[in-house]
């Protein structure tokens, strides 16, 4: 098992890619902290993991709140003694709102979850990693973090920021035995679309122009396998970069 004895925190782990990552990591021997806003659904994931012989706990956390992030990482260390792997998966969409229609509230809300969330969890985890000269961070970015119009302006900017943050952390802490990479998924079957409540017609029309080029929609389990590679020692020489997983969509 590739993650035997490791402790992993996965945010946004009650469904979709986060759930698939938590389950796969547990199957590979990791003790997993299943974190999500929805504690009941997170606990259901824990129950499934335990039924398969894995080890996990559920922790309610809103990554947009500093106190929740503090409690999340502290809970992992309190329960399992340390932290080895941090998966920043929690994220929200932005209703395809273009720049002219952006509000401060929407911009701040999207950045609070998508960008400040990974920053806060990383900031909390790094002292643990630096002390033992070992640790792995995997950020779930997006094809929208590499290109200009896969979503609205706020989401696009937030995911571009995640890519820059990933590269900065990866290089600056490389000499301390810490790796930080990101995954840029294309279209994946998850429930993030539930955060699209009132799509902006103009912004959505512009963002959807490239959809006919998408070879296919991915499954959460396919992204989980990429995360497993990056979190494991198999990726020991991979750092400060972004792995695109999109069936070739962005290769056109």
- The DSSP bridge partners found for residue 243 are 183
Give the model confidence (pLDDT) of 31-40 as tens digits: 999 999 999 9
Across 219-235, average pLDDT: 98
Report residue 103's pLDDT band, with 50, 70 and 90 as the boundaries: very high
Q: What is the mean pLDDT of residues 75-93?
A: 98
For the chain, give the mean pLDDT. 97
* Strand residues in 121-236 grouped as ranges (E): 135-140, 178-185
Q: Which pLDDT does position 191 carry in this prediction?
A: 79
Q: Is 155 a catalytic residue?
A: yes
C-alpha R_g of the chain: 17
CB 29 within 8 A of CB 80: no
25 has a pLDDT exceeding 80 = yes
Catalytic residue among 80, 96, 155, 249: 155
Please give the pLDDT value at position 195: 75
What are the structural domains of the chain?
7-251 (3.40.50.720)
DSSP, collapsed to helix, strand or coil, labels residue 14 as coil
pLDDT value at residue 170:
98
**Alpha-helical runs (H) found in 28-146:** 39-51, 66-80, 104-114, 116-132
Give, to the nearest 10 degrees, the angle between helix 39-51 and helix 16-27: 30
User: What would the pLDDT profile of 117-126 be if each residue is shown by its tens digit?
Assistant: 999 999 999 9
- Specify the pLDDT at position 148: 96
């Amino acid at each position: 098992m590739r993650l035997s004895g490791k402790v992993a925190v996965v945010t946004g782990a009650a469904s979709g890619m986060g759930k698939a990552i938590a389950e796969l990591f547990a199957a590979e021997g990791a003790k997993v902290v299943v974190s999500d806003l929805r504690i009941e659904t997170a606990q259901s994931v824990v129950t499934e993991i335990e039924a398969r012989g894995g080890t996990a706990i559920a922790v309610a956390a809103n990554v947009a709140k500093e106190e929740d992030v503090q409690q999340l990482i502290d809970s992992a260390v309190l329960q399992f003694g340390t932290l080895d792997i941090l998966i920043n998966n929690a994220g929200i969409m932005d209703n395809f709102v273009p720049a002219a229609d952006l509000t401060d509230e929407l911009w701040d809300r999207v950045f609070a979850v998508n960008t400040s969330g990974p920053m806060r969890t990383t900031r909390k985890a790094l002292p643990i990693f630096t002390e033992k000269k070992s640790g792995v961070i995997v950020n779930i970015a997006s094809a929208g973090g590499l290109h200009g119009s896969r979503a609205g302006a706020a989401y696009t900017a937030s995911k571009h920021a995640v890519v820059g943050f990933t590269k900065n952390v990866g290089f600056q802490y490389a000499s301390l035995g810490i790796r930080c990479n990101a995954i840029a998924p294309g279209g994946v079957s998850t429930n993030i679309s539930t955060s699209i409540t009132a799509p902006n017609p103009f912004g959505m029309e512009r963002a959807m122009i490239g959809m006919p080029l998408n070879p296919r929609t991915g499954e959460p389990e396919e992204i989980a396998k990429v995360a497993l590679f990056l979190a494991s020692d198999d990726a020991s020489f991979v750092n400060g970069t972004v792995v695109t997983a999109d069936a070739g969509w962005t290769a056109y």
